[in-house]
């Protein structure tokens, strides 16, 4: 399952249920977590390896376990169980929907393991109840998200965009960033719509236009909790990025390059400048959750 970047993220004031209304443009990028589901009698458990595995909480709090449990409650029986082995590349608490990717993978893997009578719409409905970003990670590609992020419409996107991701030393909690956003009173009022400049740049396969159009309403709140991110973004621009943005609630910073070789140059410059904890090159859009083997 891929990670996501929010190319644009417009955020309103909190709703009565505490969630924030959004208008966002998502792009799935080539950084993948893998979930292997093996049979287990009546118990749903998980083990995690790879990037940031030590930072994930206990199995009962894992979004993949929660997703599988909800899927079983809706479409299965209590006898069903699974051991979910999660191999992570997507940073934990990085603003790239890593937990959501694992949840999407668990839904797909368990629906096959348990031979459930579920179609894509059923999985998408469970996904929306598990988390705001889970439906997008299941779908992949490029999409406009509204509601709390779970209502999707595919967006027309041509070509491939090349990114350099700078991952930070410590994660940021999504609720904490939304709280800071509220404390700073940054919520938009009125109708939220995704910016047309981002949509036009995607349709035109124009990285320069996309770089100029990247935006994130949560960025100020993320800067306020992690001031060093401002320097990371500036370092990326100084090293030749066409544009940059904090991904979702952060702290991963996504920097856009003109093409693959510019992305190589950019990542080498940032790595040698010692910016962030880890620098990775990815491309997007890529497909959503996929079954690799049964």
Site string for ligand C5P, 84-123 (x = CB under 6 A): ----------------------------------------
- What is the nearest approach in angstroms of ligand C5P to the Cβ of residue 253? 20
Question: Would you call 230 a catalytic residue per the annotation?
Answer: no
How far, in Å, CA of 21 to CA of 147, rounded? 5
The active-site residue out of 33, 88, 102, 133 is 133
Query: In sequence order, what DSSP letters do the residues of 22-52 get, joined into one string?
Result: EEEEEEEEEEE-EEEEEE-SS-EEEEEEETT
Question: Would you call 133 a catalytic residue per the annotation?
Answer: yes
How far, in Å, CA of 37 to CA of 33, rounded? 13
- What is the nearest approach in angstroms of ligand C5P to the Cβ of residue 175? 4
- What is the nearest approach in angstroms of ligand C5P to the Cβ of residue 79? 28
Q: Where is 282: in which H helix or E strand?
A: strand 278-284
Given a contact cutoff of 8 angstroms between Cβ atoms, the answer to whether 179 and 225 are in contact is no
Site for ligand C5P, residues 166 to 205, rule: CB under 6 A: 174-175, 178
274 CA to centre of own chain: 25
CA atoms within 13 A on the CB side of 177: 24
End-to-end CA distance of the chain: 16
Given a contact cutoff of 8 angstroms between Cβ atoms, the answer to whether 214 and 7 are in contact is yes
Total chain residues near ligand C5P (CB under 6 A): 11
- Region of 49-57, 130-138, 207-215, 232-240 interacting with ligand C5P (CB under 6 A): 130-138
Instruction: Tell me: does residue 132 bind ligand C5P (CB under 6 A).
Output: yes
> Which residue in the set 1, 5, 22, 241 belongs to the binding site for ligand C5P (CB under 6 A)?
22
170 CB-near residues (< 8 Å, 6+ apart): 226, 251
- What is the nearest approach in angstroms of ligand C5P to the Cβ of residue 233? 22
Instruction: Tell me: does residue 163 bind ligand C5P (CB under 6 A).
Output: no
Q: Give 161 or 178: the residue with its C-beta nearer to ligand C5P.
A: 178
- Region of 16-24, 30-38, 135-143, 259-267 interacting with ligand C5P (CB under 6 A): 16-24
The active-site residue out of 4, 33, 88, 102 is 4
Q: Give 24 or 232: the residue with its C-beta nearer to ligand C5P.
A: 24
How far, in Å, CA of 181 to CA of 184, rounded? 5
114 CB-near residues (< 8 Å, 6+ apart): 72, 75, 76, 80, 82
Instruction: Tell me: does residue 20 bind ligand C5P (CB under 6 A).
Output: yes
Residue 158 has which token pair?
Answer: 């041509």
Looking at the DSSP assignment, which residues form a beta bridge with residue 257? 162
Site for ligand C5P, residues 133 to 152, rule: CB under 6 A: 133, 148-149
Q: Which residues are catalytic, by number?
A: 4, 133
Q: Which residues are near ligand C5P by CB under 6 A? A: 19-20, 22, 131-133, 148-149, 174-175, 178
């Amino acid at each position: 399952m891929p990670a996501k970047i929010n190319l644009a993220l417009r955020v309103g004031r909190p709703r009565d249920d505490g969630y924030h209304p959004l208008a966002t443009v998502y792009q799935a990028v080539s950084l993948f977590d893998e979930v292997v589901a093996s049979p287990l009698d009546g118990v749903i458990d998980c083990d995690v390896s790879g990037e940031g595995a030590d930072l994930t909480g206990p199995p009962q709090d894992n979004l993949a376990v929660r997703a599988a449990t909800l899927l079983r409650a809706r479409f299965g029986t209590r006898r069903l169980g699974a051991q979910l082995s999660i191999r992570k590349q997507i940073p934990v608490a990085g603003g790239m929907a890593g937990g959501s990717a694992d949840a999407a993978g668990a839904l797909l893997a368990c629906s096959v393991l348990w031979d459930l009578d579920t179609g894509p719409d059923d999985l998408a409905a469970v996904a929306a109840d598990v988390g705001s970003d889970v439906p997008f990670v299941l779908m992949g590609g490029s999409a406009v998200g509204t509601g709390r992020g779970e209502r999707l419409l595919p967006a027309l996107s041509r070509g491939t965009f090349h990114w350099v991701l700078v991952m930070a030393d410590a994660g940021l909690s999504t609720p904490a960033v939304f709280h800071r956003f509220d404390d700073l009173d940054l919520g938009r009022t009125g109708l939220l719509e995704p910016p047309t400049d981002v949509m036009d740049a995607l349709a035109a396969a124009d990285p320069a236009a996309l770089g100029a159009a990247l935006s994130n309403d949560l960025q100020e709140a993320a800067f306020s909790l992690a001031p060093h991110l401002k320097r990371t973004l500036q370092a990326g621009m100084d090293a030749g990025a066409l544009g940059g943005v904090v991904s979702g609630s952060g702290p991963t910073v996504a920097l856009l390059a003109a093409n693959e070789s510019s992305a190589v140059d950019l990542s080498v410059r940032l790595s040698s400048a010692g910016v962030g904890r880890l620098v990775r090159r990815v491309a997007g859009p890529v497909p959503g959750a996929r079954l690799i083997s049964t």
